[in-house]
Every structure is written in C-alpha cells, then in structure tokens.
Amino acid sequence: MEHTTINNKQSFKKAKKDGNILTKRSPADKVIFAVVTVIFILYAASLILSVLWMFMTSLKDTNEDIGFNLPQKLLFSNYPKAFVILSSGRTTFFGMFVNSLWYTGIATFNGVIMPCITGYVMSKYDFKGKNLIFTVAITSLMIPVVGNLASSMKLAGELQIIDKPIFVFVSSLGGFGGNFIVYYGFFKSVSWTYAEAAQIDGAGPYTIFFRIMLPHAVPIMLTYAITNAIFNWNDYQTVILYLPSYPTLASGLYEYQIMADRIPNTPSFFAGLIISMIPTIALFAAFSNKVMTNLAVGGIKG
C-alpha cells in the first residue's frame, strides 16, 4: 500500500510538471515569454497611472500644479462644477450624457441583433443568391474602413439623415461584418432537431428563431453587447462627422478640449473625463467574467 501511494505521488508530480506550460518551452521561448509579460505589465501600469493622475488632478484647485502630486485639498466640488462648466455648443454636460445614452443604446442593440438575424438566416435556410450574398459579405471585410468614409458620407447626405438622430438607427442596421461570421458559425453548429421538434408542435419560423434558436445565442449576444456598448460610448469620430448637433460625452469633451484656447478649469475638465469613464468601467467590471468566459482563442464560443 505504501509503495502504491509513493508511485501515485510521483505520477501526480510528473503530470503536474508535464502540464506546466513553462516546462514545455525552450530557454529562448521562456525569455520571450518573460519579456512579453514585462511589456504587458508596464503597459497596464501606464494605463492605471494615467487614470490615477487624472483622478488626482480632478480633485485639485485651479491654481495648483497639474503634475503627478497629491492635491493640497480634496475638492470633490469639481464634479458638480463639471455639469455647469463643460458644454459643447448649446449642449450642456447633462445633455451630452443623455445623447451618449440613446446613441449607445440604439447602436448597440442594432449592432447585436442584426448580425444575429442574418447569421441565422444564412446558416439555416437555402435560397437563390445565398452564395453570392455570402461571398460579398466576406469580400467586404477586406475593404479598409477608411476607404468607406467618403462614400458613406455621400450616401448619408443623399438620404438626408446627416445631423439627424435617425442616422444612428439606419447606420447600425448592417447585418454583416465580423459579428456576422461568428453568428453564422455558431448557428451552423446548432442542431436543426430543435426546430423540427417545434415544427411538429406547430411552431412557425419566427417562433423557432425567437423561442428556440435565439436563446442559444444569448452568451454571444451578451458578450457583443458589452464590447459594442463600450466602443459606441467612446466613439467620437462618428458623432463629430454625422451628428454635430448631438454631441456625446466622447465627442463633446474632445471638441471642448480642441476648441478651447485654454481650458479655464482643468480640474473640472478632468472630473468630466472621469464621469464619462464611469459607465464603461462599471459595465466591464460587472460583466468581465462573463465576457472572458465567452471568449476563446480565435473567436467567441457559445
């Protein structure tokens, strides 16, 4: 019995050693791994220190140095001042916050549901022109986004939707792109047996999609909803170009910094930046585990 126990311990130690990813690397690979790890640590530290510096500056008096030093007195009153001082044109800070909410909500919802619908239809139904549509969808991914800017602005101008809230709804209705590929592959792997069982009970195409197939894609949709919401909240270029009369926090604060010859109240400006960061940080902090568990090497898994 004792001999068996010793053998089991040795086997466990050997399996643990063999399972260690570092033991499978050559000395050169270990050096590269260590260098990359240090680079990522330094990069993460630079981001954290930047946020800390911005937070400390937001609590200072206007006469204090904005260097990396502690404030003489914690002036949390700079945060209420941000709602009064900061503005973009005729839009107040609160107005920019409201614009960010509806802009992010519409763009995120359409950006999540439309590729899901097209991915489902393309993967589960056969119809004329399907292969052509799929080829065009794949080919369009090779075109740089910058190359589409001029034609996109001309199209929006012809449709007369520039500087109108309906632009957000129309521009986010695209059902193709990288998200479409993920949804297409996911629904391709879902067995059609579920739909056949529902059809026996009299379910139609809409019932099958919304009550049978769509629930399977909830993990993917949640992941895309979080990542898209963070992207749309921080998107300032689209708003500046297409919705100049409806500035969001991202575009409004950017324009405020660019247009102002001298920022009259730097601490309040940084307080506004901190406020604009809170929703995205809170969103990712609340769902970070969900996002990471739905991410796999090379894509997203359901």
Q: What local confidence, expressed as pLDDT, does residue 284 receive? A: 83
Q: Say whether both 171 and 218 belong to one domain.
A: yes
pLDDT at position 294 is 61
Give the mean model confidence (pLDDT) for residues 278-288. Answer: 86
Per-residue pLDDT for 259 more than 80? no
Dihedral sign, Cα of residue 76, residue 80, residue 83, residue 85: negative
4 assigned to some structural domain? no
| Same structural domain, 65 and 104 | no
Q: Is the separation of the CB atoms in 190 and 175 below 8 Å?
A: no
Q: Would you say residue 260 lies in a domain?
A: yes
Please tell me the pTM assigned to this model: 0.80
The answer to which of 60-69, 132-141, 184-193, 249-258 has the lowest mean pLDDT is 60-69
Are the beta carbons of 61 and 73 closer than 8 angstroms?
yes
Residue 248: give its domain's CATH number. 1.10.3720.10
CA distance 91 to 81: 15
- Quick one: which H or E segment has residue 146? none
Domain range enclosing 205: 86-300
In a domain, 12, yes or no: no
Q: Which of the four pLDDT bands, split at 50, 70 and 90, describes residue 256? A: confident
CA 212 from centre of chain: 27
With residue 47 as reference, give the H or E element that holds it: helix 27-58
**Of 12-26, 103-117, 179-193, highest mean pLDDT:** 103-117
The pLDDT of residue 275: 92
Q: Return the beta strands (E) in the chain as ranges.
A: 87-88, 91-92, 295-296, 299-300
Mean pLDDT of 228-239: 92
**pLDDT: is 285 or 52 the higher one?**
52
Between CA 274 and CA 283 the distance in angstroms is 15
Confidence check: pLDDT of 213 > 70: yes
> Band of the pLDDT at 301, cuts 50, 70, 90?
very low
Domain end marker among 60, 80, 100: 80
pLDDT at 135 over 80: yes
**Span 91-124, pLDDT tens digits:** 899 999 999 999 999 999 999 999 999 999 999 9
120 and 198 assigned to the same domain: yes
Average pLDDT, the chain: 84
Note whether 122 and 46 are same-domain residues.
Answer: no
Helix or strand or coil: residue 268?
helix
User: Do residue 45 and residue 147 come from a single domain?
Assistant: no
User: Where is the domain boundary, 33, 59, 80?
Assistant: 80
Indicate whether 240 pLDDT > 80: yes
- If asked whether residues 292 and 174 sit together in one domain, one would say yes
Higher-confidence position of 24 and 97: 97
- Which tokens hold the place of 209? 């999609």
Q: Which residues of 102-121 are buried (b: 16+ CB within 10 A; e: fewer)?
A: ebbebbbebbbbbbbebbbb
CA 260 to chain centre: 30
SS3 track for 64-76:
CCCCCCCCCCCCC
- Count of domains forming the chain: 2
Classify residue 209 by its DSSP letter: I
pLDDT of the residue at 302:
42
Which of 278, 275, 267, 263 has its CA nearest to residue 71?
267
264 vs 100, residue with greater confidence: 100
Q: What pLDDT shows up at residue 73?
A: 87
Are 101 and 233 within one domain?
yes
Name the least confident of 133-147, 154-168, 246-260, 265-279: 133-147
